[in-house]
Structure 1
Amino acid sequence: MILPSGAVRPRPGASDWQPVLLKVPARLSRTISGWSPLLWRKWRLTTFTFLATFLVLQFLIPARMVISGMGAAGRPSAAVGCLLGFLWLVSAFRPRGLPRGSQPVRWVVGLFVGVQLLGHVVGFDRLPSPVEASAGTRWLIFVMSIAGVTLAVADGVVSRAALDRLLRTMVVLASMMSMVGILQYLRIVDLTSYIRLPGVQLNSDLIGVSSRGSEDFARVAGTATHYIEYGVVLALILPVALHYAFFASPGGAKVWSWLLAGTVAFGIPLSISRSATLTLVVVLFLLAVVWPWRLRYNALVIGVMGVVAFRAINPGVLGTIRALFANAENDTSVTDRIARTSYVIDLWQERPWLGRGAGMVIPEEYILLDNQWYMTLLDGGVLGVLAMALFFLVPYFMARSIRLRGLDEETRHLGQALAVTIPAAIMSAGTFDSFSFTTWVGVMSVLIGAIGALWRLDGTTVTRPLQLGVPSDSYVTTPLFAQARRRIRGAWSAAELRSRSSATTPSDGRGDS
């Protein structure tokens, strides 16, 4: 286009000129142009929204509160888990509804659910009592919730940032549950007695604050069902909290992350539980295995300082926990567990392979076993124990593979932080009937699903070479057997080179004689 004479050609991309006093600041202009009334905005529900809702209901609502009319199976978080299972099933039937590629968590969850369904059928084949039948149906609801949450995390988390956001959310909520327990311990306020929601009621009385030890120290449960569950759940989440504290950005984010980790750790001994103490020892020991020596020394110093500070604030609590182990042979909770072994073996021999029915071995009809492996052996038989073992072991080896083959240091450390929770969960399942406690089950579902999500997002395969540490790695050392493998390969290559060079050396013409 030809401009008239005297016209000034504007600069390319320049906006129309206006007086300075009439100009609107750029940030305010963007806010005004993008503003719309709240009710007009389009809200998009994502998998993270449902999972965050599940975690909020899991940690902030007392575990004994259920949806009115649904009984023990009506915990609100369990309902969200079942909804996630339904949505995952719908996605599975849609073209390209699920992420492509290998996902072992799907197979192990499918196997676990299949064995529980088979066990349910087997249980009704022996004509159970009405109480047993109701317990079996309630167990199936929990199984569907477990499967829904695990698969939603494994297949529904779209990016590594979303996975980190989900796990950080769990750490924040766990620290809030820990704080509820701390307030109970200090006798300031019991927040659980003030929580009231429409359509939700208590299925049984709140457990409140108890006492343990010769000096009757307060024993708290936060929002969990029991004191043991409170301590064990916090101990299982602590490795994840430590991971994000290590890798937080310098400044306020790192201080905040360490405050969260410290709050989670502070609540563990307030449960005054052997199970929680053993779980804590297992996760910290297995996590420290991958740390460089410098970090181990620093962690040891910080740990000693933390123990001294805790003992100064709460004198006698740690001594009471130590006495639980020192006097274990005189503790009825220990001797009774040992005495039940013969009862379990006799009852198991009646139906050794498929058990008495999934979820149908309940204290009202049998005895309180306080051992999940015993309960699974009785209600699922050998097949049920194998399914439960695979439910834990397959994700464990996946997480260990991520630790060994992750593309960067943070991924490898997160893989180890998730991996250490599995042996701790296996161990704790032998100290109480863990699958009867919904907070423990929900946390393990998220952790196992997170292992599947990290496996998928990192593209981990068993054929990927082992990732050796670099000098700048501060939190992850090179695997010991990776160093050994490198040396063996180097020696093998040197031997092959020598053999080839000797084979190509020209002969001097003299034959062997």
Structure 2
Amino acid sequence: MVRTFPTVPAPAPVASLDSLDRPGLRGADGATLAAAFAVVLMLSPARLVFRGLPFSLTPADAVGLFAALWWFCAHLTTTLGAAKGSNPVRTALFMYTTAMLATYGYASAAYLPPDELDMADHSIVLVVATVGIGLGACDGIRGRERLDFVLRCLVISGAAVGVIAALQFVLEFDLTKYLAFPGFRFTSELPAILERNTLRRVAATTGHPIELGVVCAMIIPLALHYAFGARDRGEPSLRWWVCCALIGVGLMFSVSRSAVLGLAVVGVVLVAGWPARRRLWAALGGVGFLVGMKVAVPGLMSVFLGLFTSLSSDSSIQYRTHDYAVAATEIGNRFWVGRGLGTWYAPKHLIFDNQYILSLVETGVIGMATFSGIFLTGIWAALRVRRLSSDPAVRDLGLTLAACLVVPLVGAATFDLRSFATVTGLSFLIIGATGSLLRATRRARAPALRPPERPAGETGRGDR
């Protein structure tokens, strides 16, 4: 008698990391976390923080800290979807984090006044949050489709911010006052509606009108990318053109010189890489938008023109330059590692409306170099995508992300960028997105670079 045994089904194979890039798979992943961060960052007021904590922590900061924890745990396993292997963006973020920890350790090892020590502790927590979302985006967004999902959420959220800015500017109605959810409180910072030359200048959900203008200048290239490419993707383009207009409205209503400067450098980058036909349509659209703004808001264009024609007598320009002597003294005292991240703050110290000077004072040459390095690395990664890919849509997205990152790189010279949560979080999210796009492009290009397989039975010298 032959004994039979029930067959045991083989265990289902664990999905490989490569399979996570396939567009057919869905579910919560790093892209979901990055998209949630983008929506929370843009739509929750920058002045809204958790109640009951010893320091200010925004909802976006909390998502960033969770992203840092997710990234750390994901790299301890092979099943949570984090990408492995080298990536220049990740390396740049590591170097930046190391520099920030070094200056924090150097400052806290010596005596610091209690208030400055508290600010240093707070700042290092925020570094973990911002770097966490950068790493989460770099290693957690797997594939072009998931990256598009994150960037589309960012564009739509930016359009919503434009609507809030329009309500503040036109109706003097501040919607952000009604976003105080249970368990949160507003910090005692500047109001969302200010005035400049008899015109309102608004901040929407950001911390200051300057920040709103720079944020809108960073998002506009993404909105243009999806608007111009909608026909090739077989989808309606009107929705994306509406997003472009709303984001542009938010930029104009910020009445910010930094916003215009950011838009100018975006134009230089995009025009350098766009085909002639797209340049023409962009120029016509820009002129039409400016004419519409002049008709809808009389006097607005004159105020913007005056921001650049009266530079020699502008009090804000004079204020930005009067403290250079104080900065030079502080930089000379601790040239390499600075006096400590977050220890130079208002109202105890003079405000440096220049992030590069502030970084030199707080984190020294090493900290300032790594801060600039993460933006330069992100720009390099985005432009590298244009060189590696033959897909027009991917090449255009690489140019678009490079244009986005040029804005904070230049804008850091006009205001203390790291002091504002929205533009800082947005910068690190886009930096991480460039790392994700570079990895996806290299992976798509890899099969074409593999040598052809030899016929069966044929060997070469290397096989001996």
TM-score (norm 1): 0.79
Contact 1:73 1:142 in 2 (8 A): no
> CA shift at 1:441, angstroms?
0.8
Alignment of 1:452 with 2:450, yes or no, is: no
Letter in 2 for 1:160: R
The one-letter code matched in structure 2 to 1:368 is I
Residue in structure 2 matched with residue 129 of structure 1 by the alignment = 113
Distance in 1 (alpha carbons) for counterparts of 2:308 and 2:267: 19
Please name the residue that 1:307 is paired with: 290
Distance 2:445 2:297 in 1: 48
1:142 aligns with: 126
Amino acid at match of 2:128: M
Distance in 2 of aligned mates of 1:464 and 1:228: 46
Indicate yes or no: 2:186 matched with 1:202. Answer: yes
- Rounded to whole Å, the distance in 1 between the matches of 2:79 and 2:103 is 32
Secondary structure of 1:123 counterpart: helix
Amino acid at match of 2:349: Y
Secondary structure in structure 2 of the residue aligned to 1:211: strand
Match of 1:220 in 2: 202
- Deviating above 4 A after TM superposition, structure 1's stretches of 4 or more consecutive aligned residues are 460-465
For the 8 Å contact 1:232–1:428, the answer to whether it is kept is yes
Structure 2 residue 328 is the aligned partner of structure 1 residue 345: yes
Post-superposition offset of 1:72:
5.0
| Residue identity matched to 1:49 | T
User: How far is the alpha carbon of 1:368 from its aligned partner?
Assistant: 0.8
Check whether the contact 1:401–1:460 (CA below 8 A) recurs between aligned residues: no
Q: 1:158 aligns with which of 127, 142, 151?
A: 142
Aligned match for 2:90, one of 91, 103, 106: 106
**3-state DSSP of counterpart to 1:349:** helix
- The answer for the alignment partner of 2:23 in structure 1 is none
* Residues in 2 aligned to 1:52 and 1:103: alpha-carbon distance in whole angstroms: 21
Partner of 1:424: 407
- Which position in structure 1 is the counterpart of 2:348? 365
Matched, 1:334 2:346: no
SS at match of 2:424: helix
Contact kept in structure 1, 2:84 and 2:139, CA below 8 Å:
no
Paired residue type of 1:82: L
Counterpart contact for 2:327–2:361, Cα < 8 Å: yes
State the match for 1:263 in structure 2: 246
Q: Give the one of 414, 424, 445 matched to 1:441.
A: 424
- Contact 1:85-1:145 within 8 A present in 2 as well: yes
Equivalent of residue 94 in structure 1, options 53, 66, 77:
77
| Aligned-pair CA distance for 1:47 | 2.3
**What's the secondary structure of 2:323's corresponding residue?**
helix
Q: For residue 206 of structure 1, report the CA deviation from its aligned partner.
A: 5.9
Counterpart of 2:217 in structure 1 is 235
Report the residue type matching 2:223 in the other structure: A
Distance in 1, Cα, partners of 2:186 & 2:446? 51
Please give the alpha-carbon distance, in whole angstroms, between the structure 2 residues aligned to 1:267 and 1:217.
14
User: How far did 1:95 drift?
Assistant: 4.3
Displacement, 1:370?
1.2
Q: CA deviation at 1:461?
A: 11
Q: Which shows bigger deviation, 105-114 or 400-409?
A: 400-409
Aligned length: 421
Alignment map for 1:343-492 (pairs within 5 Å): 343-459=326-442
**Structure 2 regions of 5+ residues with no counterpart?**
1-25, 449-464
| 1:244 counterpart residue number | 226
CA distance in 2, matches of 1:434, 1:240: 21
Measured after TM superposition, the shift of residue 336 of structure 1 is: 1.7
Determine if contact 2:48/2:180 at 8 Å carries over to the other structure.
no
Give the aligned partner of residue 12 of structure 1.
none
Answer whether contact 2:35 2:149 (CA < 8 A) is retained.
no
Larger Rg: 1
Partner residue, 1:28:
none
Letter in 1 for 2:427: M
1:16-27 aligned at under 5 Å gives the runs none
- The answer to whether the 8 A contact 1:361-1:379 is kept is yes
Mapped contact 1:405–1:464 kept (Cα < 8 A): no
- Is 1:49 aligned to 2:37, yes or no? no
Among 99, 110, 120, the residue aligned to 1:115:
99
1:16 paired residue number: none
Shift of 1:205: 5.1
Q: What's the offset of the Cα at 1:338?
A: 1.4
Contact 1:286 1:420 (8 Å CA) reproduced: yes
What is the CA distance between 1:83 and its match in structure 2?
0.7
Q: CA deviation at 1:193?
A: 1.4
> CA–CA distance in 1 between the matches of 2:377 and 2:66?
25
Name the CA distance, whole Å, in 2 between partners of 1:141 and 1:225.
19
Kept in 2, the 8 Å contact 1:402–1:415? The answer is yes
Q: Distance in 2 between matches of 1:239 and 1:112?
A: 26
By how many angstroms is 1:71 displaced? 5.4
1:127 deviates by 1.0
* Structure 1 residue 245 displacement after superposition: 0.7
Distance 2:445 2:53 in 1: 45
Q: Is the 8 A contact 2:143 2:437 kept in 1?
A: no
Could you tell which deviates more after superposition, 63-72 or 193-202?
A: 63-72
> Which deviates more from structure 2 when the two are superposed, residues 184-193 or residues 443-452?
184-193
Name the stretch that deviates more: 295-304 or 349-358.
295-304
Cα gap change, 1:61 to 1:119, in 2 (>3 Å): same
CA-to-partner distance for each residue in 1:283-342, whole Å, 9 max, x for gaps? 122111111222212221221111111101111111101111111111121112112112
Deviation, structure 1 residue 170? 0.4
> Residue 393 of structure 2: SS of its match in structure 1?
helix
Counterpart of 1:277 in structure 2 is 260
| 2:174 is aligned with 1:174 | no
Q: In structure 2, what residue type is equivalent to 1:244? A: Y
- 2:49 aligned counterpart, secondary structure: strand
State the percentage of identical aligned residues: 31
Structure 1 residue 61: Cα displacement: 1.2
What SS class does the counterpart of residue 380 from structure 1 fall into? helix
Distance 1:218 1:380 in 2: 36
Structure 1 residues 182 and 162 mapped into 2: Cα distance closer, same or farther (>3 Å)?
A: same
Structure-1 separation of matches of 2:129 and 2:188: 21
Deviation at 1:96, TM superposition (A): 6.8
C-alpha distance in structure 1 between counterparts of 2:223 and 2:447, whole Å: 28
* CA–CA separation in structure 1 for the residues paired with 2:226 and 2:51: 38
For the aligned residue pairs, the C-alpha RMSD in angstroms reads 2.1
Q: Is the partner of 1:70 in helix, strand or coil?
A: coil
